[in-house]
Structure 1
């Protein structure tokens, strides 16, 4: 109960972000694409011969009053569901509730299906001066509780909407399950919850990292209008 309360507080905590000085006006539409590099060609025997998928991605654009999760923080129930099952229903419901109640969320988007090995998935987000951040994540599946993510990413710099940017994705351990193999049991009795819950951290920091610190994906952010 205590860890759930802590996770909820972290999910709605105010995190301090200082934007560069400048006058921002209007809003912009961005497309955010994740490319899945978890193919047998890239990883060989390190992963199953069929490769690994990203579960249906979900995300939101939001203000600095909202943080759905933070690296080194505890995973909320919404993030835990994505990390352990690949289902994003709790995350999407929370984000939509915050949007409709005007509590720091502007735009919510979710994919209809997984991102297969070697493929891409694109989500669209409106961003404005009061909601300049995006968060987007999905499960690496199958896995115990590993995710790919963009977290509190600012799309305004020097008071202007950025035209775009690209970068790499690595695997993160959400600290909710002790499993170390490429498994995600449907039977809850086979689950191995981490007690006490650990902080969200790059999987490369774990000596059991199955990806050997390699890049598991790419992200592409582009302003479309």
Structure 2
């Protein structure tokens, strides 16, 4: 690994509305380019900033224990899909969305690593008191290379029946210049895993 970059994911739940087709939305001048070729393996730090607070999203905000589960991120090729719009939730995604449990998802990621479709994965701490705003930063950097230029990630929105936030297939390189982005800043949205019934913040 030759260089360290920064990928910043910022959560915005749009007053609690679930996403229709949004995956992520770039903020401002993001992404910032670099002159580092994608032929080099690099590492990214990831920072999730919680904007889902009662002040920002007062409509039907949960009064009991609003929080995020631990965050799971993976760098991968186009052959791996952690989750996507319109896709069927795997057992790993179902367990994260319903219970905040990451173990089945981690097992699936290990299998994809053995198959060569996933390069690296990291886990970020959960956010125990979402109402006050906070950040989650994994203790390790996520490695990417030319064969694995995408990042996907997920965390449970709690309490909820099966809602989560995250990003899927976020490209970390500029294909026109074959260089890595130095910094990416995006908004991410709320999603329904489709595994439980419910339209309110309750388990």
TM-score relative to the length of structure 2: 0.74
Count of aligned pairs between the two proteins:
161
C-alpha displacement of 1:168: 1.0
Partner Cα separation in structure 1 for residue 128 and residue 181 of structure 2: 26
Q: If each structure's helix is expressed as a fraction of its own residues, which one has the higher value?
A: 1
**Cα distance in 2 between the residues matched to 1:129 and 1:93:** 24
Asked if 2 retains the 8 angstrom alpha-carbon contact of 1:36 and 1:116, the reply is: no
Answer whether contact 1:141 1:182 (CA < 8 A) is retained: yes
2:179 to 156, 160, 168: 160
2:125·2:136 contact (CA, 8 Å) conserved in 1?
Answer: no
Please name the residue that 1:15 is paired with.
none
More strand by share: 2
Matched residue, 1:110: 123
The corresponding residue for 1:79 is: 93
Aligned with residue 142 of structure 1, among 134, 159, 162: 159
**Structure 1 unaligned spans of 5+:** 1-22, 185-225
Worse-matched range after superposition: 170-179 or 115-124: 115-124
Q: Which structure exhibits the higher relative contact order, with contacts defined as CA atoms closer than 8 Å and separated by 6 or more residues?
A: 2
Specify the SS of the correspondent of 2:56: helix
TM-superposition CA deviations, 1:38-87 (whole Å, max 9, x none): 21221225202356211111111011111112111111111111011111
Aligned-partner Cα distance in 2 for 1:70–1:45: 27
Kindly report which structure 2 residues correspond to 1:155-194, keeping only aligned pairs within 5 A, or say none: 155-157=172-174, 158-184=177-203
- How far off is 1:103 after superposition? 2.3
Alignment partner, residue 47 of structure 2 = 33
Cα distance between partner residues in 2 of 1:175 and 1:102: 28
Listed as ranges, the gaps of 5+ residues in structure 2 are 1-36
Over alpha carbons, which structure has the higher Rg?
1
Tell me if the contact between 1:147 and 1:172 (Cα under 8 Å) persists in the aligned partners.
Answer: yes
C-alpha RMSD of the superposition? 1.7
Indicate how the Cα distance of structure 1 residues 49 and 183 shifts in structure 2: closer, same or farther if over 3 A, else same: closer
Provide the C-alpha distance between the structure 2 equivalents of 1:63 and 1:104, rounded to a whole number of angstroms. Answer: 5
Is the contact made by 2:80 and 2:112 (CA closer than 8 Å) also made in structure 1?
no
1:92 alignment counterpart: 106
Q: Secondary structure at the match of 1:49?
A: coil
Is the aligned partner of 1:127 residue 2:141?
no
Q: Deviations over 1:13-57 (max 9, x none)?
A: xxxxxxxxxx73111100121111121221225202356211111
Which 4+ residue blocks in structure 1 deviate beyond 4 angstroms? none
